[in-house]
Every structure is written in structure tokens, then in C-alpha cells.
Amino acid sequence: MTITVQCPTCSAPVEWKAENTYRPFCCERCKLIDLGAWAAEEHAIPGNDLEDEMFSGDLPTRPH
Ligand SMILES: [Zn+2]
């Protein structure tokens, strides 16, 4: 019997099994997105390496 849950990020069906290290997310990307959103809301974690990796493709920070 397989338990299926919904990915909190993209609502895709996710099989809840030990091999799925990203559960309840469907993939690493969705997990990082969710964690990033959480960190952004909290504003409590300085120098977040996770965000740096997620947005590594963005332009360097510059004043607006
Ligand atoms: Zn997903």
C-alpha cells in the first residue's frame, strides 16, 4: 500500500516512502523553495547559504 501526499510547494502527488528523501515535497527544488520562503518570512537567519545557492544566478546585490 502506498500513501500519497501533496507537495506543499507545487501540489504534485508525492509517494510517501523512505526512498523519497524530499518528502513531503516532490523534489529537492520544491523543498528548497519552501525553506527559502520560510527563511524570507522570518528574516532571522543571516547569511543564509541556502538562499545564496538558490539565487546564485541572480545579479549581484546592488543599491536601488
Ligand atoms: Zn513539488
CB within 5 A of ion ligand 1: which residues?
Answer: 7, 9-10, 12, 26, 30
Is 27 annotated as belonging to a binding site? no
Ligand 1 center from residue 62 Cα (angstroms): 31
Is 30 annotated as belonging to a binding site? yes
Ligand 1 center from residue 45 Cα (angstroms): 24
Q: Please state the CATH superfamily assignment of the domain spanning residues 2-42 in this structure.
A: Erythroid Transcription Factor GATA-1, subunit A (3.30.50.10)
Evaluate if residue 11 carries a pLDDT over 90. yes
Domain boundaries, the chain: 2-42
Residue 23 has a pLDDT of 93
55 confidence band (pLDDT: 50, 70, 90): low
Query: pTM of the full predicted structure?
Result: 0.55
Residues 13-35 pLDDT 10s? 999 999 999 999 999 999 999 98
Q: In whole angstroms, what is the distance from residue 17 CA to residue 26 CA?
A: 11
Q: In whole angstroms, what is the distance from residue 64 CA to residue 48 CA?
A: 22
